[in-house]
Structure 1
Amino acid sequence: MNYVEYSYTGGWATPVLLIAVLAVPALGALAVALLPARMDRGARLLATAFAAVTFVLTVLLAALRQPDFGYFDYGTGPLALVPWADVNVPWVPALDVGFHLGVDAISYPLVVLTGLLTALCCAYTVWKVPGGGRGRALAALLLVLEVGILGTFLALDLVLFFIFFEVVLLPMYAVIAGWGGPDRRRAARKFVLYTLFGSVLLLLGVFTVIVAAGTGDMVALTGASDLSRTVQCSAFALFAIAFAVKAPLWPLHTWLPDAHTEAPTVGSVILAGVLLKMGTYGLIRVGVGVVPEGAAWAAPVLGVLAVVAIIVGSLVCLRQTELKRLIAYSSVGHMGFVMLGIATLTVTGIQAALIGNVAHGIITGLLFFLAGAIKDRAHSGELSELGGLRETAPRLAGVLGFAAIASLGLPGLAGFWGEAFAVVAAAQRGGPLWMTLAAVAAVGGALTAAYFLRLLRRVTHGPATPAVTGFAEISRPEWLAWSPLILLALVVGLVPALVLAATAGPGAALTGVLP
C-alpha cells in the first residue's frame, strides 16, 4: 500500500506546527547565545519563554487529530501506522531521503513530556545556576538538547532520525562537563565514548536498511516485507546494541551512574526524563517497526537482558549509599521493565513500554529535582548524612516519599502500569522462558519496593543529622518546577488512557498482531 496515498496534505497548520516545534527552541538557543554576558538572568528568562512556547506547541499537536485537520481513526494494517500529522519534503532524492516529520500516538506523549521537562528545567535555571553564573550558556544548551530530542521523536526518515539522535551528544557533554560535580569531566568523557560507540552501530544499521530497501522512509519501511531475513537480523542486531547503550540496558549501562552523579540537577532531569527514552523509542519505532523479523529473532535474548537489568539494578540499589547514584541505578531497573515489554512483541508489551517510558520520565525527573535540592542544602548526597529529613523539612520529606512510592509502582500512581503490564505481557507470551522471565521480573519489582523503602528509612526517619539541621523548606521556584510532575504522576496513574489512547492500533500493526 502506497504511503503517499494516505499522507495528510490539507491546510497549512500541519507543516507550520510541526516545523515550529523544532524551529522555536532552535531560534531560542540562538537568541540566548547572542545576548551579552551581562544579561545573564535575562537570557535565562528568555530561554524559559522559548521553552514554554515550545511546550504549548507540543500540546497543540493534539489538535491535528481533529477531523478538520484530516485525522482518521487508527484501523488495522498499513493505515494503523500512518501518522495523524506529517510533513515530507524531498531532501536527498537520489537516496530517497526526505525531511520527513510526523507525530502519532506512539511519539506524541514523549514529545509533550520533552516540552514540559525542558520548560521546567529552563525555569529552574532562572532561580539557580550550578556553580554560579554562566546561566546563559546552560539555558541555550538545554534548548539545543530539546531540538535534538524532539527531532528524534518526530523524525520519520532514518537518516533524519540519526542526525537528530546525534544532536544531543555534544550539548549533554557540555552540560555535564561545564556544570557538573568534581569528577564531571571523566563522567562526560565516558558518556561521549559510550554514545559514540552506539552511534557508529546505529549509522551502520541505518545504511544497511537503506541500501537493501532503497529508501529511508520509516512509514514505507514499517513491516519491512521486502527486506530479507538476513538483512533484518543484521540490522536489528546493530540497532539493538545502539539503542541499548542509550536506554541503557545491562551490561552497557555503566556510563549512566557516573553521568547522573556528576551532572547538574537540570542535566540529570533531562537525561533521565527524556534522553534515555530516545533508546527505547528507537527500539520500538526503528527496531520493531522497520526490521520486525530481526526483532522476533532477537526477542528472547533481549528479554533475558532486560530481566537481568531489573535484578542487577535493584541489587545494586540495595547497596548504594549515595542518593543520586541510587536513583541512577533505579533507572537501569525501570528501563529494564520497558525493554521487557518491547521484547515480548505483543500489543500489551508495547503499550507497557510506552506508558513505562512516560511514567519513568515524570517520576525520575521529579526524583532528580529532589535529589538536587537535598544535595544543594546538605552539601552531601550520602544517605548516612541525610537522616531525619521529616523533622527539619517535612514538606520536602513528604514530596520525596511521594516520588519514591510512585517509582516503586504503587497502584494508582504512574509507575504501576508499565511494570505490571510488562510482567503480564511476558506471561501472555507463554512458554517456559517467558513465564520464567515474568516471575523473575516480578521479584525485581519487589526488590524495587525494598530499596526505595530503605531510602526513605535512612533519609526521612530517625534523628536528624548535622547536615540536615536548619534545612530550608521547599521554595516557590521549586514548587513551580515540581508541581506539574507531582500532578502528572497522580493523573497518569489514575487515568492511564492519557498516554495509551489510540496506541492499540499502532501497537498491533508494529507487532503484526491485528486486533
Structure 2
Amino acid sequence: MASSTLPWLTLSIFVPIFFGLLVLLIGRDDNPGPARVLSLVGAIVAFLVTLPLYTGFDPTTADMQFVEFAPWIETFHLNYHLGIDGISVWFILLTAFITIIVILAGWEVIRSRVAQYMAAFLILSGLMIGVFSALDGMLFYVFFEATLIPMYIIIGAWGGPNRVYAAFKFFLYTLMGSLLTLIAFIYLWHVAGGSFDVLTWQNMPLGYTEQILIFIALFAAFAVKVPMWPIHTWLPDAHVEAPTGGSIVLAAIMLKLGAYAFLRFSLPITPDAAHSLAGIMIALSLVAVIYIGLVAIVQDDMKKLVAYSSVAHMGFVTLGFFLFNITGLEGAIIQMISHGFVSGAMFMCIGVMYDRLHTRRIDAYGGLINRMPRFATYFLLFSMANAGLPGTSGFIGEFTVILGAVQYNFWIGLLAATALIWGAGYSLWMFKRVALGPVANEQVDGMRDLCSREFLILGLLAFFVLFLGIYPRFFTELMHPSVQALLDHVSISKL
C-alpha cells in the first residue's frame, strides 16, 4: 500500500472542521464580516490540503494510497484507518471544491446566524471527506451518520416555511435505514474475528444466504441516501425547504455518499448477492430514470423539478453499478462527478433567481433573458448539461452508462436512453418558460443581472462542466485501475 510522509487525509478531514469550530468561536451576529472571511479562508485552505492527494497519487495501481493507521478503541479493535483509491480521491476533491462554492453562495444571502451557517458547512465538509476516506467500518459509520447533524441544522434553521418537517423527514429516513446497516457491520465484525477492517471484510468467504441478508441490510441505508425509487420522497421536500447552499451540498455531495458506499461495501463484500439481485437493482434504477423523469416534467416549482431530475440522474449511477462491465461502472462514477457540478450549478441558478424575486414558481418568471443576459447564458448551459448535451459532462456520464447497458442487454440500454428525451423535456421546457419570450411582469422587469460574486461561482462550475465533457480522460485515467480491480473482485465468487 502506498503511503505518505504527511497525514494528508487527516488534514483534509480536520482542517475544515477546525476552521468551522473557529468560526463558531469568533462569530458575532452584530458583525458577521470576520466570520464570512474566515469561513472562505478555511474553505480555500481545506481545498488546498486535498490537492496533494491528486498530485501525489499513483495512477498505475489499484492499491489504497495515503494510508493512515492508528489504534482508536482497542477494546473493540476499532482503528483510525484511512486510505483512498482512484475512485474516492475524486469525491474528496469535489467535496472540498463545492464547500468553497457554498460559502461564496451564502456570502450576502445569509444575514442571520452567519457564523453558525458557515461553520455547519465547513464541519459537514470534513465529515463527508471522512466518509470517502474511512477504511474502518465503524469509523465509516460514525462519519456517515454524523453528516446528518449539520445538514439537519442547515435545513431546520435556514430553510423555508416547512423546514422543520423537511429536516425531520430527511433525518428520520436516513437514520432508520442506517440501523440495519449497523447490524450488518456488527455481524461482519463478528465473522472477521473482531475486525472492522473494510479490506478484510471484502475478502471474507461468506455464504450465499449471509450475502443476501447483508446486501439487504446495507441497501437499507445506501439506497435511501442515493436516493433510489421508491424511497426517494424525502429528497424533494428537503431540497425545496433547504437554503441554496444546503441544496447544492445535498445534491452535489450527500447523494454520492450512498452511491459510494455501494462501491466500497455492497459490491465487494457481497458480490454473489449483488449478481443475484442485479435484476431488481436495474429495474429500480430504470424506474427512477424513466418514471421520475416524467414526474419532473410536470413540476411547477423549479427546485422540485431539479430535485426529481437528481433522482433520475442518480438512477443512471445505480444502473451502471449493476451492469458489471467496465463501461457501465466508469460511466456511473463519471455521472456522479458530473452530477456534482451540474446539479450544484442548477440549484445555484435557482438561488440567484430566488434571491431577487423570492419565489421558485416557474410561472412567476418569463423573459428573463431580456434583463439578465449573462445569467441566462449560464442557465442555458447548465440546463443543456442537465439534459445531456454532447460536449457537457452530463452527456459523458449518461452516454457511457447507456453504452454499458447496451453491452449488458440491448433493451435495457434502449430504456435507459429514453432519459435523454425526458431530460431535454424538463430541462429545456423550464428554461423556455423562465428565460425566453417577452418580460412576464414588473417584478421580472426589475431584476438585475449577475453580480461579480455570482458570475465567479457560475463561471467555475461552467468550467468543470465543460472540461469534464470535453476531456473526461483526465478523470478516468486515475480511476481506471481501481474500477478494473473492483470489477475483477466482484466477478470472483466467494462461495
TM range (shorter): over 0.9
Q: In the alignment, which of 413, 426, 433 is matched to residue 458 of structure 1?
A: 433
Q: In the alignment, which of 470, 485, 494 is matched to residue 470 of structure 2?
A: 494
What whole-Å deviation, never above 9, does each CA across 1:475-498 have from its counterpart, x for those lacking one? Answer: 011122222111000000011022
Q: Which residue of 2 aligns with 1:8?
A: 2
Asked if 1:290 corresponds to 2:269, the answer is yes
5+ residue gaps, structure 2, are none
Asked if 1:122 corresponds to 2:93, the answer is no
Alpha-carbon distance in 2 for matches of 1:398, 1:481: 14
Kindly provide the amino acid, as one letter, of the partner of residue 401 in structure 1.
Answer: L
Q: In the alignment, which of 313, 319, 323 is matched to residue 340 of structure 1?
A: 319
Asked whether the equivalents of residues 121 and 481 of structure 1 are also in contact (C-alpha less than 8 Å), the reply is no
Q: In the alignment, which of 60, 72, 84 is matched to residue 73 of structure 1?
A: 60
Q: In the alignment, which of 427, 436, 440 is matched to residue 415 of structure 2?
A: 440
Alpha-carbon distance in 2 for matches of 1:315, 1:137: 38
Q: CA deviation at 1:511?
A: 2.0
Q: Which residue of 1 aligns with 2:488?
A: 512
Within 5 A, what are the aligned runs for 1:42-441? 42-65=34-57, 71=58, 73-74=60-61, 80=62, 82-129=63-110, 132-214=111-193, 215-222=195-202, 224-430=203-409, 435-441=410-416
What whole-Å deviation, never above 9, does each CA across 1:8-67 have from its counterpart, x for those lacking one? Answer: 35x522xx21111111111111101111424422112101111111111112211322xx
Alpha-carbon distance in 2 for matches of 1:88, 1:29: 25
Count matched residues: 487
Structure 1 consecutive aligned stretches of length 4 or more whose deviation exceeds 4 Å: none
Q: What SS is found at the alignment partner of 1:451?
A: helix
Alpha-carbon distance in 2 for matches of 1:357, 1:266: 19
Q: CA deviation at 1:225?
A: 4.4
Q: Structure 1 residues 334 and 110, CA, compared in 2 at 3 Å: closer, same or farther?
A: same
Asked if 1:30 corresponds to 2:21, the answer is yes
Alpha-carbon distance in 2 for matches of 1:171, 1:388: 38
Asked whether the equivalents of residues 158 and 218 of structure 1 are also in contact (C-alpha less than 8 Å), the reply is yes
Q: What SS is found at the alignment partner of 2:418?
A: helix
Alpha-carbon distance in 2 for matches of 1:158, 1:349: 27
Kindly provide the amino acid, as one letter, of the partner of residue 2 in structure 2.
Answer: Y
Q: CA deviation at 1:126?
A: 2.5
Kindly provide the amino acid, as one letter, of the partner of residue 343 in structure 2.
Answer: T
Kindly provide the amino acid, as one letter, of the partner of residue 438 in structure 2.
Answer: P
Q: CA deviation at 1:167?
A: 1.1
Asked if 1:472 corresponds to 2:448, the answer is yes
Alpha-carbon distance in 2 for matches of 1:506, 1:45: 38
5+ residue gaps, structure 1, are 1-6, 66-70, 75-79
Q: CA deviation at 1:220?
A: 2.7
Q: What SS is found at the alignment partner of 1:462?
A: coil
Kindly provide the amino acid, as one letter, of the partner of residue 295 in structure 2.
Answer: V
Asked whether the equivalents of residues 120 and 150 of structure 2 are also in contact (C-alpha less than 8 Å), the reply is yes
Q: Which residue of 2 aligns with 1:4?
A: none
Q: CA deviation at 1:508?
A: 2.0
What whole-Å deviation, never above 9, does each CA across 1:376-396 have from its counterpart, x for those lacking one? Answer: 212211111111111111111
Q: CA deviation at 1:347?
A: 1.7
Alpha-carbon distance in 2 for matches of 1:72, 1:443: 35
Asked whether the equivalents of residues 356 and 419 of structure 1 are also in contact (C-alpha less than 8 Å), the reply is yes
Q: CA deviation at 1:350?
A: 1.5
Alpha-carbon distance in 1 for matches of 2:467, 2:59: 27
Asked whether the equivalents of residues 321 and 382 of structure 1 are also in contact (C-alpha less than 8 Å), the reply is yes
Q: CA deviation at 1:128?
A: 2.2
Alpha-carbon distance in 2 for matches of 1:505, 1:72: 7
Q: Which residue of 1 aligns with 2:461?
A: 485
Kindly provide the amino acid, as one letter, of the partner of residue 100 in structure 1.
Answer: H
Alpha-carbon distance in 1 for matches of 2:50, 2:189: 30
Q: What SS is found at the alignment partner of 2:79?
A: strand
What whole-Å deviation, never above 9, does each CA across 1:137-188 have from its counterpart, x for those lacking one? Answer: 0001001110111100111111111110011111101101111111111111
Q: CA deviation at 1:507?
A: 1.5
Q: Structure 1 residues 182 and 328, CA, compared in 2 at 3 Å: closer, same or farther?
A: same
Q: CA deviation at 1:289?
A: 2.0
Kindly provide the amino acid, as one letter, of the partner of residue 240 in structure 2.
Answer: T
Q: CA deviation at 1:403?
A: 0.3
Kindly provide the amino acid, as one letter, of the partner of residue 123 in structure 2.
Answer: V
Asked whether the equivalents of residues 175 and 267 of structure 1 are also in contact (C-alpha less than 8 Å), the reply is yes
Alpha-carbon distance in 1 for matches of 2:52, 2:471: 20
Alpha-carbon distance in 2 for matches of 1:201, 1:372: 36
| Mean CA deviation greater in 330-339 or 292-301 | 292-301
Alpha-carbon distance in 2 for matches of 1:97, 1:439: 47
Kindly provide the amino acid, as one letter, of the partner of residue 220 in structure 1.
Answer: T
What whole-Å deviation, never above 9, does each CA across 1:365-422 have from its counterpart, x for those lacking one? Answer: 0000000111121221111111111111111111110000011111111011111111
Alpha-carbon distance in 2 for matches of 1:305, 1:501: 30
Asked whether the equivalents of residues 408 and 449 of structure 1 are also in contact (C-alpha less than 8 Å), the reply is yes
Asked whether the equivalents of residues 378 and 458 of structure 2 are also in contact (C-alpha less than 8 Å), the reply is no
Asked whether the equivalents of residues 310 and 334 of structure 1 are also in contact (C-alpha less than 8 Å), the reply is yes
Q: CA deviation at 1:291?
A: 1.9
Q: What SS is found at the alignment partner of 2:72?
A: strand
Q: CA deviation at 1:472?
A: 0.7
Asked whether the equivalents of residues 339 and 353 of structure 1 are also in contact (C-alpha less than 8 Å), the reply is yes
TM-score, normalised on structure 2?
0.95
Q: What SS is found at the alignment partner of 1:406?
A: helix
Q: CA deviation at 1:93?
A: 3.8
TM-score, normalised on structure 1?
0.92
| Mean CA deviation greater in 165-174 or 502-511 | 502-511
Alpha-carbon distance in 2 for matches of 1:156, 1:478: 38
Alpha-carbon distance in 2 for matches of 1:376, 1:487: 24
Q: CA deviation at 1:72?
A: 7.3
Q: Which residue of 2 aligns with 1:77?
A: none
What whole-Å deviation, never above 9, does each CA across 1:302-331 have from its counterpart, x for those lacking one? Answer: 110000001122111110111111011100
Q: What SS is found at the alignment partner of 2:107?
A: helix
What's the RMSD between the two structures over aligned residues? 1.5
Q: CA deviation at 1:448?
A: 0.9
Alpha-carbon distance in 2 for matches of 1:416, 1:290: 31
Q: What SS is found at the alignment partner of 1:49?
A: helix
Q: Which residue of 2 aligns with 1:503?
A: 479
